[in-house]
């Protein structure tokens, strides 16, 4: 797959605990925030991967697993999240993805905040 054909993955996650903290991290707000960032950065071929109601303590989440499958297949060029806590809260696993797997697959990872 050519680099310019690769997807820009926008990943949103909200746990049930996060919902109680108010509107600022809602899935809709995350989507708008990420789309705005991607558009202003000139990124195209955007695809959303979303996990609503899933904890960040493990990575066995359907949206994350779908994104990971596309990443492993070489279909994703960039992954963007609002902040690291939306990606995950298990920092050892976060480190595996951001420091080992994504660089190996030539995937750029961006946590905006």
How far, in Å, CA of 12 to CA of 9, rounded? 10
Homologous superfamily (CATH) of 3-111 is Resolvase, N-terminal catalytic domain (3.40.50.1390)
pLDDT of 83 higher than 60: yes
pLDDT of 52 higher than 80: yes
Three-class SS of the chain: CCHHHCEEEEEEEECHHHHCCCCCCCHHHHHHHHHHHHHHCCCCCEEEEEEECCCCCCCCCHHHHHHHHHHHCCCEEEEEECCHHHHCCCHHHHHHHHHHHHHHCCCEEEECC
> What per-residue confidence (pLDDT) applies to 78?
98
Average pLDDT of span 44-53? 96
> What per-residue confidence (pLDDT) applies to 2?
67
Q: 22-26: long-range contacts (C-beta < 8 A, 24 or more apart)?
A: 25/82, 25/86
Q: What pLDDT digit, counting tens, does each position of 2-47 carry?
A: 666 899 999 999 998 766 655 457 999 999 999 999 999 999 999 9
The model's pTM: 0.92
Q: Would you list the domain boundaries of the chain?
A: 3-111
């Amino acid at each position: 797959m050519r680099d310019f054909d690769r997807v820009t993955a926008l990943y949103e996650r909200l746990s049930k605990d996060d919902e109680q903290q108010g509107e600022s991290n809602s899935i809709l707000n995350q989507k708008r925030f990420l789309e705005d960032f991607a558009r202003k950065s000139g990124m195209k071929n955007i695809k959303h991967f979303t996990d609503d109601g899933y904890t960040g303590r493990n990575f066995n989440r359907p949206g994350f697993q779908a994104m990971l499958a596309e990443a492993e297949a070489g279909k994703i060029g960039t992954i963007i999240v609002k902040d690291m806590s939306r990606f995950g809260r298990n920092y050892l696993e976060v480190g595996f993805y951001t420091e080992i797997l994504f660089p190996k697959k030539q995937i750029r990872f961006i946590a905006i905040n």
